[in-house]
Structure 1
Amino acid sequence: MTLLLAALALTIEAIIGYPDTIFRTIRHPVMWVGALIDSLDRGMNRSAASPRARRLRGVVALVVLIGAAAVPALAVQEGVLAVLPRPAGVVLIALLASALLASVSLTAHVRAVAEGLDVGLAEGRAAVSLIVGRDPDRLDRAGVARAAIESLAENFSDGVVAPALWCALLGLPGIAAYKAVNTADSMIGHLTPRHAMFGWAAARFDDVINLPASRLAAGWIILAAALQPGASARAALATVRRDAGKHRSPNAGWPEAAMAGALGLRLAGPRVYGAALVEDAWMGDGRAEATVADIRRALRLYHRAAWLQIGVAWLLAAVIVAG
């Protein structure tokens, strides 16, 4: 059932996204999770505590967060299946799970960067600042384009492939727990004085649960490159093999290297976050001078990869149901 649930959720979200009317009414589940994380951070992350104590409190906070996401999701899943006929129940649960996928919103945010750059550099910087943490004022046009493409590749893994995978494995509780951990990593999983210790557990656990999805995301991009004119699956695979492990993140390098190789680009490399220069390896050996046209090529590749994932999920679900 969980694989069928993931296939349905992916399809629903790809078609309708997260409707604005629902957002205006109840906001988004990730915002609810974010409010809980903020509350735990303010209540448990005491600056007067020792580093060891802050790390331990971060572990406790993560356990509380996962429980707060997974237990209600499990209750809803079991309650729906107990009340409704199984086909209707699965569809309703898939509709709920689709809210925790982000393929449509990711497309909108990355497309906005391309449209911003069509107008001017300032508009492109403003749009890319909504999806990356680096200092947009340090980015030229090529830097803005690269940042958008890198974000597209990484968030394909974190926002689409990983939640779908955990949904396929563990149902609604799996995707809810994954999204809670991933949101915690984005909020407190940073090497800042406040969060280096308290956010340690969230950051490390997020790395672990994203390991399979990042490799799978690279695989989808490589397969999509074989179907896209002007893209190279062979170069994408070669770049992943050579460069993915050089990235400072154990996961982000996989989809970024696949995207770079497929499109003949050079992504990642040294970047400025705040006032700090972060030295990172380059992914790919192509052009560093990315353009608006490259952003749109990356979006087309991403869409092919996303629909490949949906098609394979349905195929596997059909095989299991038939068996």
Structure 2
Amino acid sequence: MALELTLALTALALLFEAAFGYPAALYRAIGHPVGWIGRLIALLERWLNREEAAPGERRLAGVATLLVILAASFGPGFLLQSWLLSLPFGLFGVAILASSLLAQRSLHLHVARVAQGLDRSLDEGRAAVSQIVGRDPHVLDEAGVARAAIESLAENFSDGIVAPALWMAVGGLGGAAAYKAVNTADSMIGHRNRRYLEFGWASARFDDLVNLPAARLAGALIVAAAVMVPGASPANAARAIRRDARRHRSPNAGWPEAAMAGALGLALAGPRHYGGQLSVDGYMGEGGRRDCTSADIRRALKLYRVADTLLVALAVAGAAAFTLAAW
């Protein structure tokens, strides 16, 4: 698929998902592609991740699992795209399907619910944030709930929007589907515990690799967005990336989180509780405020909306430029 077509597909998919999201009626009827991928991963994990196997065998089983889910996602996506493009206005059909692999609208809605919940009570804020983060909500005070929501917004802007859009621009529907398969596998089996340390190794490392360019782009988009948002600081956002991003336990999440923290004058990340265990992490935006509120969540959402608009504009401009060059 020519680059002008994949960029046009990406722009259309971003616009469609931002406007309509994933229809609830469709979700009730057939579920969601990420759910289909998740069921396949769970099935392969039950078959192949044998506790009695040697560590090397479990690692090889994890590599095989990764290869299967890549083939099972890229292949059908590529074939479906090829068939639809042979039909009149088929690009629009592909774009509608591809929009299901993006999360602009749903991310905004979920994070906004945290701000709304905090406005009513701490318990409602905790309940809302528990839907989007893996940490223990009952240990979070109001500032902790707000920080968790903003951190999730920044990280998911990268791996829920920028990354699938980037791989869609590179590989069309199949490329975006393969990315979502890898990202889903990392979230399910990429844990550093006894059961998944070896079996999930390949998925976790490959997820780090495919998210590397998107995380840098997401950070740059947040810096650029800060230029256009009153009260945000692009200079501090860029400074926080240079100083703090490498301190994050993730090789990628630190880029958008540091950019968001620096732009808004906040201190994000740091020590956090997951499953009753304290995870010690570096601070993003060191020296910024830790006493975040629902108002800060709304500031972060405004910055997110501008950064997302810039992403859409990049896709549209790229599609136009490559289309003109092809002519």
Q: CA deviation at 1:219?
A: 0.6
Cα distance, 1:313 vs. partner?
Answer: 1.0
Separation (CA, whole Å) in 2 of partners of 1:283 and 1:72: 40
State the percentage of identical aligned residues.
60
* Partner residue in 2 for 1:166: 167
Report the residue type matching 1:186 in the other structure.
S
Shift of 1:117: 0.8
Q: Distance in 1 between matches of 2:288 and 2:276?
A: 28
Cα drift, residue 112 of structure 1 = 1.0
1:15-94 equivalent positions in 2, closer than 5 A: 15-82=19-86, 84-85=87-88, 88-94=89-95
Once residues 189 and 271 of structure 2 are traced to their aligned partners in structure 1, the CA distance between those partners, rounded to angstroms, is 23
SS of the equivalent of 1:70 reads helix
Which runs of no fewer than 5 residues in structure 2 stay unpaired?
A: none
Structure 1 residue runs of 4 or more that deviate by more than 3 Å after TM superposition: none
Identify unmatched segments of 5+ residues in structure 1.
none
* Aligned-residue offset at 1:256: 0.1
- State the shift of 1:137 in Å: 1.0
Encode CA deviations 1:45-82: one digit per residue, 9 max, x unaligned: 11111111111100000100110001111110111122
Aligned to 2:105: 104
User: What TM-score, normalized to structure 1?
Assistant: 0.98
Structure 1 residue 246, shift from structure 2 partner? 1.1
| SS of aligned partner of 1:229 | coil
Name the SS for the 1:277 alignment partner: strand
State the match for 2:276 in structure 1: 275
SS in 1 for 2:22: coil
AA paired with 1:166?
A: W
Question: What's 1:303 paired with?
Answer: 305
Letter in 1 for 2:238: L
C-alpha separation in 1, matches of 2:9 and 2:265: 36
Task: Please show how residues 207-222 of structure 1 align to structure 2 within 5 Å.
Answer: 207-222=208-223
Partner residue of 1:292? 294
Which residue pairs with 2:226 in the alignment? 225
Letter in 2 for 1:299: L
**CA distance in structure 1 between the partners assigned to 2:9 and 2:57 by the alignment:** 40
* Normalised TM-score (structure 2): 0.97
- Measured after TM superposition, the shift of residue 236 of structure 1 is 0.4
Shift of 1:192: 1.5
Q: Please state how far the C-alpha of 1:24 moved relative to its aligned partner.
A: 1.1
RMSD of aligned alpha carbons: 0.7
Matches within 5 A, 1:162-201: 162-201=163-202
Aligned to 2:134: 133
